[in-house]
């Protein structure tokens, strides 16, 4: 066998999404040859996913013409040849537009290929004593076999041109009996789990992902964040992403002894459990943060600003953010003044307007409303676009307003007069009450998420739609 020595490490895209063929540098002399079969740092620099292999398997094949496959397994694989030469064939058996796409190539020790979960893998040896080796990112188990997807080596649709005819090749009876492509049930994608799915944001995510079987919703009854069993009894191998839409948001109650304990339990301890799970299972964790992590003394808050929380609620949200930040694949979505399905400021003002009440409303706190449909859309955009992991501010757009300004808009839109709203200071409004301190300025800089291609709609436009929809 002749191996091309000293090729440069290089990546080559293939017709199957996510399948990448690599040239590996092989160094040889009179004694034989040496190669770095897997070198994480160099491979990541070429764009290979950091798929965290946990098991190394070798298939030794005594004679040329030995043929194995086509098996799509529930894990990713990095495949190469240790000795000999193979003809490899790969067929996309995942749900989606590329289902049935085929790629073939001859591989010797100077090449390797990355095969994502759900892509069928097969090979035929072209030389005697060929060893086929692969790294996988999950441990083999008998239970995992039930998640395999198979395709017949002789499938007419794939029409793979095997160098040695299948009639003459050495293959197993099981491989001969696999189904044709028309009978294959595609491998579904890994799932996204939304926890806290019964809150305002959870309901918006339910509506956005309605009908998507790959997204699973769990309220407290289905996933109790305070219970260790919720974490240990779930098969996390079936998931790729957790969206945490749960939070303790009773800002003033958090200042009480009972509320303080509940806020820390939900916003920090439960989040730490989610973060630990995400790290251990290599999941993406999406976590929703708050403007309350800031003291509101800057003109506009960007993602680089250090947290300066004033009250217990803000302190727990800042602590939760710090925990999530250690997850390699995380999105912290920081929002403000959330409006969705449920009790909220806009609904309260609309109710007061309908009853002819003339309220006093705080006029020295400014920010922007964040409608849950747009928070949900922003989260989906970050996940679908593969935006860089990290912190993203996400509120609706437009000019900053005070609570009194927004109340005036609500009154105006409900056929009343904005003159019915009287602006008062925070100090005056809460005089004599035990409440949490609030940031005076909650305006979030939206430049970073806009640069990913997501343009949050105007808060005023959304407010009009929200009130119009309700009536």
Round to whole Å and give the CA distance between 417 and 410.
Answer: 9
Contact at 8 Å (CB) between 345 and 339?
A: yes
Catalytic position from the list 22, 27, 132, 134: 134
Run of H or E including 21: strand 20-23
Contact of 194 with 155, CB cutoff 8 Å: no
CB 153 within 8 A of CB 176: yes
Beta strands in 220-298 (DSSP E): 239-244, 284-290
**What is the torsional sign of CA 405, 411, 416, 422?**
negative
- Is 22 an annotated catalytic residue? no
Cβ atoms of 88 and 104 within 8 Å: the answer is yes
Residues 194 and 215 sit within 8 Å (Cβ to Cβ):
yes
295 C-beta neighbours (distance < 10 Å), count? 17
**Residue among 155, 170, 178, 211 at smallest CA distance from 64:** 170
Q: Does 134 qualify as catalytic in the annotation?
A: yes
Whether omega before 2 lies within 30 degrees of 0, making that bond cis, reads: no
Catalytic (active-site) positions:
71, 134
């Amino acid at each position: 066998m002749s191996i091309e020595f000293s090729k440069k490490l290089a990546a080559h895209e293939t017709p199957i999404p996510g399948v990448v063929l690599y040239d590996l540098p092989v160094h040889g002399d009179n004694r034989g040859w040496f190669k770095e079969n897997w070198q994480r740092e160099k491979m990541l620099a070429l764009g290979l996913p950091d798929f965290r292999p946990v098991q190394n398997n070798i298939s030794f094949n005594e004679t040329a013409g030995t043929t194995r496959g086509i098996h799509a397994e529930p894990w990713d694989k990095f495949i190469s040849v240790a000795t000999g030469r193979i003809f490899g064939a790969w067929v996309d058996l995942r749900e989606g537009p590329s289902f049935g796409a085929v790629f073939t190539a001859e591989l010797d020790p100077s090449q390797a290929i990355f095969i994502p979960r759900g892509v069928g893998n097969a090979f035929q040896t072209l030389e005697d004593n060929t060893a086929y080796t692969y790294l996988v990112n999950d441990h083999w188990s008998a239970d995992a076999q039930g998640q395999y997807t198979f395709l017949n080596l002789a499938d007419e649709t794939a029409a793979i041109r095997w160098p040695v005819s299948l009639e003459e090749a050495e293959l197993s009876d099981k491989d001969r009996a696999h189904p044709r492509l028309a009978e294959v049930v595609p491998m579904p994608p890994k799932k996204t789990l939304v926890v806290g799915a019964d809150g305002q944001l959870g309901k918006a995510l339910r509506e956005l992902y309605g009908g998507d079987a790959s997204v699973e919703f769990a309220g407290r009854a289905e996933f109790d964040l305070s219970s260790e069993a919720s974490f240990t009894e779930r098969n996390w191998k079936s998931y790729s992403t957790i969206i945490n839409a749960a939070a303790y948001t009773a800002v003033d109650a958090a200042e009480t002894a009972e509320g303080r304990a509940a806020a820390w339990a939900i916003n920090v301890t439960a989040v730490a459990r989610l973060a630990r799970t995400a790290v251990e299972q290599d999941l993406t964790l999406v976590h929703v943060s708050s403007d309350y992590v800031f003291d509101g003394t800057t003109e506009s808050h960007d993602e680089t600003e250090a947290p300066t929380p004033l009250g217990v609620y803000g302190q727990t949200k800042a602590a939760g953010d710090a925990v999530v930040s250690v997850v390699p694949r995380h999105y912290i979505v920081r929002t403000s003044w959330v409006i969705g399905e449920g009790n909220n400021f806009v609904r309260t003002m609309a109710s007061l307007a309908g009853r002819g009440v003339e309220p006093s409303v705080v006029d020295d706190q400014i920010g922007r409303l964040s409608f849950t449909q747009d928070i949900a859309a922003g989260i989906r955009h970050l996940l679908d676009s593969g935006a860089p992991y990290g912190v993203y501010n996400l509120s609706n757009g437009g000019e900053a307003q005070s609570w009194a300004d927004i109340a005036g808009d609500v009154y105006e839109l409900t056929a009343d007069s904005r003159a019915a709203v009287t602006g008062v200071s925070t100090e005056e409004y809460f005089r004599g009450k035990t409440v949490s301190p609030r940031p005076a300025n909650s305006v979030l800089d939206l430049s970073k998420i806009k640069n990913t291609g997501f343009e949050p709609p105007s808060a005023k436009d959304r407010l009009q739609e929200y009130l119009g929809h309700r009536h």
